[in-house]
Structure 1
Amino acid sequence: MEYILEVKQLVDFPRCRIYREFIRSLMSDRNLRTTGGSYLFYYMVLCSYANFRSSYLKLEGITYLVSPGEWICRTAELSKWFRTRYQHQSLAIMEHLQKQNYITYTKLGHGNLLKFEICDWKKHNTALNYNYPCLKDGGFFFFPIAAVHELISMRRCSEMDIILDLWIHAIYNDEQVQGSDIGPVVYFRNYTGNPLTSYSDLSLRWGISKATVSRILNKFQEKEYISLISFTGRHGSVIYLCSYLSTMFNISDIMINKEEVSMTFQVPVHITDSAPSEEDDAVKDSQIDCSEITDCVSDNFPCVSKTHIRKIIKKLAQILAAQGVPCCECPLTQYKLSPLSDCREGIIRYSLRLGCPDMQTVYRFELTLSPEPTPDGYLMKTKKTTEIKERG
């Protein structure tokens, strides 16, 4: 049996995936000014250097243990990252972030070294057991959306802060946001589904004048960071991001075809009727509640049995865990499926809720299965219609 499984995100998760390579490219771009007071850029730079897992670092003849969320650097390096002329300016930035409870830091080696820790790092970035996002100069980390709103509200935003604010609020291929099927569009989550924004709104958001907003957006467009589409009258403008797809998904931003827009990828899985050892499954049958699903039989289309749907959910849990959803690695997580369509319709839809045993904090997805007979087991094709972001 061959299943085409479509996974559609139904909830906006309050974390965004940020690639370290993207932060490094911004740090090296001297055309972007850092003068401002929102501290979003500085905080995100520190997050990009934080450890994902414990490691040892040898500096000045001493070996230090660096835990997840921590890093040790020279004060001169910190000044280089922040682009400050003097080291005391970098330390003033660290002091401000510490007062706001974003970080804690300690001076080492008579002030030549500095060890910092990102507060709530484990809440947003679990110490993972696989190496992919753990590379020091590669991979990604998750950044809380709430921290963005807090930081940009403090003071006047710099050009660096603004480009990061636009990047974090990019929405791609979400049917609830108009224009996102064309490309990654900036949407500030005002629950209207309309990405149109005015210079007046951006002026209030970033703490700058409307003339400065116009100048900065035009500069970003010239540097090919964004593509700006303006409308006459009081409608506003739509902002599309350039190089977003190549950074986030390693696909071209030019000549996007239909398959790239739908973000389709295939995951082969061979499902047999034999019962596997429960020790081999990260998700146990007791965690999956499919009591509302009935094993009915259709004359026209084969149905998905409870045994097979459990195996599909176990495979889906592995995919979501690789996307950074920590609940899929927790042995206490409960998976509850509810049918949204009749089995006899051929294309079968389910509602999937997963979360803690009390199901107070959950993720919600909509699954669509299109069964087709095949002589060799099953091939599960997973279609991700929106970017899956982590939620606490």
Structure 2
Amino acid sequence: MADYQLELRQIVDYPRCRIYREFIQTLIANRSIRTGGCSGLFYYVVLCSYANFRTSYRRIDGISYTVYPGEWICSIADITEWFRVRFHYQAFAILKSLQDRQLITFTRLGRGHIVKFSIIDWRRNNTALDYNCPCQKDSGFFFIPVSTATELISAGRASEMDVLLDLWISAIYKDQQVRGSEIGPVAYFRNGTRNPLVNYTELSARWGISRSSVGRILKKLSELDHLSLLTFPGRSGTVIYLKNYLSTMFQISDVMIDKEEVAMCLNLHVSVPDTTPPEASTISDEQISVSTGLSSVSKPHILFFIRKVLQALETQWIPCLSCSKSKYMLYPLSDDCTVGIEEGTVFAGLTICCGTGNPLYRFELSITPSAEVEGVCDHGKNEV
């Protein structure tokens, strides 16, 4: 039997986002998340989730209607229920707002009780199938352009549901251009920094709400288990990871997010206590070998850093970390590898070996002593 290793990566420049209809149905049914807002992102996505991929026919009150790709026909009562508003005139106002933005067109039939709507540019973003067949509304997926979602979320005050969809559409997983995305699906708003760190002021401007509302909504979505918030001290900012993203998008198991691992990937500081308490660890000091060339950082601190790194790597299920025969060697790298590195930074290589055998894993680790706070160090990249 041939063995293969598969790696899943998402490209940050991909212009469209795949959204599953079943996921939208769960959002429509979730009454704990508010939908009242004027950005229109949630309403537009709901209409897209009902649009046809192929021509079909629907019979309403004894009349058969032809529904082409990108279209759907239903009662205004249905749309009122999807939008979660109380009155029909509110649903019509939302439809007109989306039509004024040239995102949809709609027609009122049957004295206004029936609505036929069409998604503009549907064929450009979603494949239109030629044959006739009924279209399931609770299965399959559709594509929405990221640019359209960005325009909508910037057009008005975002609701809680708009915020959740914006984070979902902005999620990046395993893209080398975005730091921290190899750990899990992270929200990145394509700001050119390649860094998912964001502060509440930026989110306030993006969503058209106050900073206090940003904090309240993110905390609520976190408590509802939709996302993980990793907030770092000072002016570093916050990193937002999506929960249940991988199981929904790729039908694979979701991952656990470790804050220390994220801090190392994003080059954020990790505090070292004045007295390092003994930790319950299967890795003994005898297994760790530190070169004398790294004397610029005290050995107790070096051992503290290595254990933090190994704890982060253990979450990635590296089997050698639980083996008593494994050896961990930290050594300085040549000057050629430290070109452009900040002065005072210790740039070292970390190798994991099986006993005295060949190296199994190699990593790079940078340690920068902080000039402002004693005992605080910045962890840099650790890449295979």
TM range (shorter): 0.5 to 0.7
Deviations 1:58-117 (A, max 9, x none): 111011110000000101111000011100000011111111111111111111110000
Structure 2: which amino acid aligns with 1:108? L
Deviations 1:173-221 (A, max 9, x none): 1121111111100001112211000000001100111111111110011
Contact 2:53–2:129 under 8 Å retained in 1: yes
Distance 1:143 1:214 in 2: 27
Contact 1:133–1:139 under 8 Å retained in 2: no
C-alpha deviation, 1:137, in angstroms: 1.7
Change (3 A) 1:129 1:250: farther
C-alpha deviation, 1:135, in angstroms: 3.4
Change (3 A) 1:4 1:132: farther
Structure 2: which amino acid aligns with 1:176? Q
Pairing of 1:29-108 with structure 2 (within 5 A): 29-108=30-109
3-state secondary structure, aligned to 2:85: coil
Distance 2:211 2:121 in 1: 35
Change (3 A) 1:186 1:97: same
Change (3 A) 1:131 1:215: farther
Moved more, 95-104 or 247-256: 247-256
Distance 2:236 2:51 in 1: 42
Change (3 A) 1:133 1:62: closer
Change (3 A) 1:94 1:182: same
3-state secondary structure, aligned to 1:92: helix
C-alpha deviation, 1:131, in angstroms: 11
Alignment match, 1:200: 201
Q: Which has the higher contact order (CA 8 A, sep 6+)?
A: 1
Moved over 4 A (4+): 1-11, 129-134
Aligned residues: 256
C-alpha deviation, 1:123, in angstroms: 0.7
Distance 1:171 1:213 in 2: 21
Distance 2:11 2:206 in 1: 27
C-alpha deviation, 1:255, in angstroms: 6.0
Which one has the largest radius of gyration?
A: 2
Structure 2: which amino acid aligns with 1:62? I
Identity of aligned residues (%): 59
Contact 2:17–2:169 under 8 Å retained in 1: yes
Distance 2:134 2:241 in 1: 27
Distance 2:80 2:27 in 1: 15
Distance 1:246 1:132 in 2: 28
Distance 1:149 1:6 in 2: 29
Structure 2: which amino acid aligns with 1:223? L
Distance 2:228 2:38 in 1: 26
Deviations 1:117-136 (A, max 9, x none): 00010011121479999633
3-state secondary structure, aligned to 2:59: strand
Contact 1:220–1:226 under 8 Å retained in 2: yes
Alignment match, 1:161: 162
Contact 1:133–1:140 under 8 Å retained in 2: no
**Unaligned stretches of 5+ in structure 1?**
257-392
Contact 1:105–1:115 under 8 Å retained in 2: yes
Alignment match, 1:225: 226
3-state secondary structure, aligned to 2:162: helix
Distance 2:119 2:73 in 1: 12
CA RMSD of aligned residues (A): 2.4
Alignment match, 2:120: 119
Contact 2:39–2:158 under 8 Å retained in 1: yes
Structure 2: which amino acid aligns with 1:206? W
**Unaligned stretches of 5+ in structure 2?**
258-384
Structure 2: which amino acid aligns with 1:49? Y
C-alpha deviation, 1:150, in angstroms: 1.1
Change (3 A) 1:67 1:146: same
Contact 2:54–2:132 under 8 Å retained in 1: no
Alignment match, 2:183: 182
C-alpha deviation, 1:149, in angstroms: 1.5
Deviations 1:222-241 (A, max 9, x none): 00000000000000000000
Alignment match, 2:13: 12
Contact 1:226–1:242 under 8 Å retained in 2: yes
Contact 2:69–2:129 under 8 Å retained in 1: no
Alignment match, 1:282: none
Deviations 1:154-178 (A, max 9, x none): 1110001000000000001112111
Contact 1:133–1:141 under 8 Å retained in 2: no
3-state secondary structure, aligned to 2:138: coil
TM-score where L is the length of structure 1? 0.62
Change (3 A) 1:245 1:115: same
Change (3 A) 1:8 1:172: closer
Distance 1:228 1:253 in 2: 16
Distance 2:11 2:22 in 1: 29
Pairing of 1:242-261 with structure 2 (within 5 A): 242-254=243-255
Change (3 A) 1:7 1:169: closer
TM-score where L is the length of structure 2? 0.63
3-state secondary structure, aligned to 2:239: strand
Distance 2:126 2:218 in 1: 32
Distance 1:214 1:28 in 2: 24
3-state secondary structure, aligned to 2:161: helix
Structure 1: which amino acid aligns with 2:149? V
Distance 2:222 2:8 in 1: 34
Structure 2: which amino acid aligns with 1:35? G
